[in-house]
Amino acid sequence: MNSNSLISGTLANLVQADQFSLMNIPSMVIEFLALNSKPLLQVLLLPGLGFILGFAIFAVWFERKFLARAMLRVGPYYCGGRAGVLQVFADFLKLFMKEIIIPTAIDWPFFVAMPVFLSTIPSLALLLIPFASNWVLWDVGSLSLPMFFAIMGIAPLIPIFSGWASNNKYSFIGAWRVAYMYISGEIPLVICAAGVAIMAGSMDLVKIVEAQQNMWFAVPQFIGFILFFLGIFIESERTPFDIPVAEVELVFGWRTEYSGILFGFTMMAEYVLFQAWTLMFITLYLGGFNGPVLMGMPTASHIFWLLAKFFVLVVFIILLRCVFPRLRMDQMIKLGWKYMTPLALLNLFFVIVMKILGVV
Amino acid sequence: MREPMIEPDVMRISWGPQHPMSGQTRVLLDVDGEKVHRIIADLGFTHRGIEKILENRSFFSGIIPVDRMAMVDTANMSIGYVTAIEKAAGLEVPERAKWIRTLVCEMSRINSHLYAFGLQAESTGYFPAVFLWTTVDREVLLDLFEELTGARWSFNHFFPGGVHHDLPDGFADKVLKAVKYLRGRFKDYWDAMVENPLFENRCDGVAILKPKDALKLGATGPVLRGSGIDIDMRREEPYDAYGDLEWEVITEDACDVMARTKVRYHEIGQALNIMEQIAQSIPDGPVKGRVNAFMRVPEGEYISRVEAGRGELGFHLFTNGTGNPYRVKINSPTLRNMYVFERLAELNEVFVADIPVIINSIDPWYLDSDR
Amino acid sequence: MSWLRKMLKPLMIVAPYVLRNSQTVAYPTERLMFFERFRGRHVFHLDKCISCGICARVCPDASIEMVEIEGKDKKYPQIDYNTCCLCGYCVNQCPRQALEFTDIVEFATADRSELVYSPERLMEVPDIEDILPMMKRRTEAYLTDKEMKYRKVKDV
């Protein structure tokens, strides 16, 4: 498979030790690149490092400009031409050069490690999403849907650890608010995903997308569609569900004590989680990479359709930030347990009935 | 401040001066989980000694610090002091000056209520849209102030005996245009914010203040009128031109945060009506009597009460025949409303997430509670 | 269904705001025109002043001091902008209108002593184009029924 060819290529080159000389290095490199071009492209560009970081930078810039327009002002204006495109780079550079203040009374291994984990662990889950029929970076076959939820299940623990490690009353409140929110919000999502898997007949994400070629799963499972859409907000802590990081009540929730590049990591983590869950939502309910083939290149057009749906959804989610205020914690718990879980079970019931009757 | 002892099983959070939303105050919250047991307000961070400053300044010079007691609402602050001095000196204010004063006071009131509206929206998490729209709308009013008086915020336009400048040419048309613009914007605010289901979720039934408690604890302003009691200083002791104009006192019966927000919303509507009436039918005449910047005032004790945007503002003026006042006691609305805020935790069940919503429904402005 | 309409109504109202004009004045490339009564820095007319000293007496912050200047034997006002609050009493009370307001608000300096303006300095009014070399146009605000717009008055 892909990973084997990476290792085999390198080892095969190194084994030819008797022909090893400095003149062979360029040809070794070229052979390495030629054997592993596609995995390298996937790791570096799409859906790997380039896509994640590029989206984070683009989304920060776009959100600031879009919200500024909704607030009747201009966003970043001076840095990098009138559109302010270099502002995000300037901010990241500034954060790198600032001092990371670590108070004495905190638990500093957890404190320093947690933002880094929060930025990288959801990226692992992002690699499971198929961008085309043969463009999956981490191909685990029929375990991909449970693997996504397993990795994303670690995501709530990280703010809880960092909130506890910060030794600060605001962070502590933010930490147990994270616990409450994820407990009540994640169960309906898993049930909805189970419904999708039953309707598609498999837990492999590629097969789920291919089963939606005639009709997107949003249409027969509209309840699950709406619940999973709410789930994007709950899991990535965006307004109207950014309760753990309510800036007007707690100073910055579990992120209060972070400064310097650790703060940059927590900001980036929000966008990585957002990206992962939105792509999963599109894969499960909006047909994934399905779409008419353009210009006779199926792989490229599949990638194009997935990215197009993704950007439309990103704009809509950012717009919803301007429109609705935040929920309170007890309203969120009531929503999760009294409304979302029974509706998710109802959705599952419908799916099973439709499957037994052979309708879909 | 000597803080009371912390009970067991309770965490004391300092919702303190280093906070994105607290303003210039510190509020200590005794928190058990998400429920707040007790609120202790720690005021005094912006104490400037205005009452003492006023003793060393002449009457004219003293209007300037009083203006700066509430930057969003300056006209209503200075009209109190000026009315007290006029009572002391027995000065008569010309008719046109009274109408101009009412116009400026009502524009200040709209300014103050818009700011409170914006903060209320921000405190529920609705930060991006409404707070900056109110800032944009206040620019219209600030441009009107600049055209009339020369300064945007702390214009000292009133003095005992009249106003400094007359209306410039074409000002009445500009006022009518601004009224039309603001009326169009208010429809947007009602639909996008007050009727927003999530905003109603945050504000309905929160921090109920029954009428009996409101009277007993000394609430004032929209806090009192949101509990159904109609007391408004502009109607009880009419000053300036309020007796000649048609307007209503707004009360709501629901007694919660939403009721206070609606009271402020409808008060802006009433203020726009008053502005329209003034711009259409202001009488002619002089705007100032004889100006004596170093006036002396006979000895005595004089009280004036006005209705600022936040509540009833009182000036108790002691004079002793010289050019400076002997003592000025300022009775501030925010101080009394903060006392009500402290007792709200005993009367209702308050969550930590409700604290910014409640405090912005009371609409404190710490510069006038600390003077 | 009415609940759904109530949820969608804020969306319908907020979304068109993205397409409106922004209300930002891009200072310092643009500068607003101020109204004629605007209180900026003072300007002093030496030929009108009669040295009565009312401005110094009425100033609430005691920012005006009557000082001697060379070549004249009367005293003229010196304004200390460290404490001047631009209240306008000196302009109102001057019997000959020797002190007036301009619309210069850019007089920040690096040294506090430079903010004390002697009468000779108060007499000169520099051009806005000299103070702000990066300014490109002057704009003014006007109000329509729906929004406040900014239009260009003149290029610089």
- Whether C38 maps to a domain, the answer reads yes
**What 8-state DSSP symbol labels residue B288?**
B
CB pair distance less than 8 Å for C17 and A72: yes
For residue B57, the model assigns a pLDDT of: 87
Of B280, B278, B307, B346, nearest in space to B108 by CA:
B307
Helix (H) or strand (E) holding A15: helix A2-15
What is the per-residue pLDDT for A143?
85
Dist. CA B165–CA A170, nearest whole Å: 52
- Whether C15 maps to a domain, the answer reads no
* CB-CB neighbors (< 8 A) of C17 in chain A: 69-72, 322
- Residues 6 or more apart from B10 whose CB is under 8 A from it? B30, B31, B32, B37, B38
State residue A235's pLDDT score: 87
Check C92 against B164: CB less than 8 A apart.
Answer: yes
Contacts of B181 (CB under 8 A, 6+ apart): B140, C143, C144, C145, C146, C147, C148
Residue C26 resides in a domain: yes
For residue A10, what pLDDT is reported?
Answer: 56
Q: Per-residue pLDDT averaged across B318-347, rounded? A: 88
With an 8 Å Cβ cutoff, is C137 touching chain B? no
Is residue C22 within 8 angstroms of chain B, CB to CB? Answer: no
- What DSSP designation does B237 have? S
Facing B202 at nearest CB: one of A67, A247, A328: A328
> Hey, is the C-beta of C89 within 8 angstroms of any chain B C-beta?
yes
Q: Does B149 touch chain C (CB under 8 A)?
A: yes
- Residue B85, token pair as written in the block: 């001095």
Contact across the interface for B198 and A73, Cβ inside 8 Å: no
List Cα–Cα distances, B239 to A38, A285, A341, B102, in angstroms.
82, 66, 60, 9
What is d(CA B285, CA B93) in angstroms, rounded to the nearest whole number? 11
C70 to chain B nearest CA, in Å? 31
Within 55-84 of C, beta carbons closer than 8 Å to B belong to 57-58, 60
Interface test with C, best of A65, A72, A320, A327 (most C CBs within 10 A): A72
Measured CA to CA, the distance from residue B185 to residue A347 in angstroms comes to: 42
Print the domain residue range for C151: 21-155
Position C94 in a domain: yes
Number of domains comprising chain C? 1
Cα dihedral across residues C82, C86, C91, C94: positive or negative? negative
Q: What is the pLDDT along chain C (156 residues), one digit of tens a residue?
A: 677 888 888 888 888 888 887 788 888 788 888 888 888 889 999 888 898 889 888 898 889 999 888 888 888 999 999 999 888 888 988 899 899 998 888 888 899 888 898 888 888 888 888 888 888 888 888 888 777 788 887 776
Nearest CA in chain B to A247: B20
| pLDDT tens-digit map of B105-153 | 999 999 999 998 888 888 887 766 788 888 888 888 998 898 888 888 8
Structure tokens at B252: 């709501």
- Provide the pLDDT confidence category of residue B284 given band limits of 50, 70 and 90: confident
Residue C43 domain-assigned? yes
CB C51 within 8 A of CB C68: no
Confirm or reject contact between B198 and chain A (CB < 8 A). yes
Greatest alpha-carbon pair distance for chain C in Å reads 86
Number of neighbouring beta carbons within 10 Å of residue C47: 7
**Cα of B147 to nearest chain C Cα, Å:** 6
Decide if A358 touches B, using CB distance below 8 A.
no
Per the prediction, chain B carries an average pLDDT of: 87
Residue B320 pLDDT greater than 60, yes or no: yes
CB-count exposure of residue A5 (10 Å: 0-12, 13-18, 19+): middle
Q: Does A330 sit within 8 Å of B19, measured CB to CB?
A: no
**Nearest alpha carbon to residue C77 among C128, C121, C24, C26:** C121
Q: CA–CA distance from A190 to each of A224, A340, C65 (Å)?
A: 10, 11, 78
| Calpha distance A210→A201 (Å, rounded) | 11
Nearest to B125 among A72, A169, A326 (CB): A326
In chain B, where the domains are located: 49-333
Question: Is A225 at the interface with chain C, CB within 8 A?
Answer: no
Report d(CA B260, CA B257) in Å as an integer: 5
- Average pLDDT of the segment spanning B202-225: 87
Q: Torsions phi, psi of A286, nearest 5?
A: -110, 20
What pLDDT sits at residue A1?
43
Query: Which among A69, A74, A324 is the nearest to C18, CB-wise?
Result: A69
pLDDT for the residue A17: 53
Backbone angles phi, psi at A26, to 5 degrees: -60, -40
**What is the distance in angstroms between the Cα of A324 and the nearest Cα belonging to chain B?**
6
Give A30-55 as a DSSP string: HHHHHHTHHHHHHHHTSSSHHHHHHH
Q: Write out chain B residues lying below 8 Å of A331, CB-based.
A: 201
- Domain-located, residue C76: yes
Q: Which of A66, A69, A323 shows the shortest C-beta gap to C11? A: A323
Give dist(CA A301, CA A304) in Å, integer. Answer: 5
Residues of chain A with pLDDT under 50: 1-2
Q: How big is chain B by its Cα radius of gyration, in Å?
A: 21
What whole-number distance in Å separates Cα of residue A33 and Cα of residue A39? Answer: 10
Contact of A330 with chain B, judged by CB distance below 8 Å, is answered with: yes
Instruction: Give the up-direction half-sphere exposure of residue A14: CA atoms within 13 A in the CB hemisphere.
Output: 6
Q: Do A325 and B199 touch (CB under 8 A)?
A: yes
| Chains adjacent to B (≥3 CB pairs closer than 8 angstroms) | A, C
**Closest-CA residue to A130 (of A6, A308, A306, A298):** A306
Q: How far away is chain B from the Cα of A285, in angstroms, using its nearest Cα?
A: 26
**pLDDT score, position B295:** 83
User: Does the beta carbon of C18 lie under 8 angstroms from any beta carbon of chain A?
Assistant: yes
CATH number for the B49-333 domain, one of 1.10.645.10, 3.40.50.300, 3.40.50.720, 2.60.40.10?
A: 1.10.645.10
DSSP H or E segment with residue C3 = helix C2-14
CB-CB contact of A26 with A33 (8 Å): no
How far away is chain B from the Cα of C4, in angstroms, using its nearest Cα?
A: 10
**Nearest-CA distance B136 → chain C (Å):** 7
- Amino acid C132 reads L
Taking CA–CA distances from C13, the nearest residue in chain A reads A323
Taking contacts as CB-CB distances below 8 angstroms, the residues of chain B near C23 are 136, 139
Whether A266 and A114 have beta carbons less than 8 Å apart is answered as no
**B67-109 per-position pLDDT tens digit:** 888 888 888 888 989 998 888 888 888 888 889 999 999 999 9
Domain membership flag for residue C112: yes
- Residues of chain A in contact with residue B19, where contact means CB-CB under 8 angstroms, are 251
Read off the pLDDT band of B13 (50, 70, 90): confident
CATH number assigned to the domain comprising residue C31: 3.30.70.3270
- Paired tokens of C14: 């907020």
